[in-house]
Chains A and B, each alone.
Chain A
Amino acid sequence: QQQVKQSPQSLIVQKGGISIINCAYENTAFDYFPWYQQFPGKGPALLIAIRPDVSEKKEGRFTISFNKSAKQFSLHIMDSQPGDSATYFCAARVSGSARQLTFGSGTQLTVLP
Chain B
Amino acid sequence: EPEVTQTPSHQVTQMGQEVILRCVPISNHLYFYWYRQILGQKVEFLVSFYNNEISEKSEIFDDQFSVERPDGSNFTLKIRSTKLEDSAMYFCASRAVIEAFFGQGTRLTVV
Contact = CB atoms under 8 A, between A and B. Distances in A.
Interface of A: 32, 34, 36, 41-46, 49, 89, 97-106
Contacts of B98: 32, 49
Task: Classify the interface of chain B: helix, strand, loop or mixed.
Answer: strand
B48 A42 contact: no
Contacts of A44: 43, 91, 102
A100 B99 contact: no
Interface residues of B, number: 23
Contacts, number: 56
A20 to B, nearest CB: 19
A46 B91 contact: no
Interface of B: 4, 31, 33, 35, 41-45, 48-50, 55-56, 91, 98-105
B50 A103 contact: no
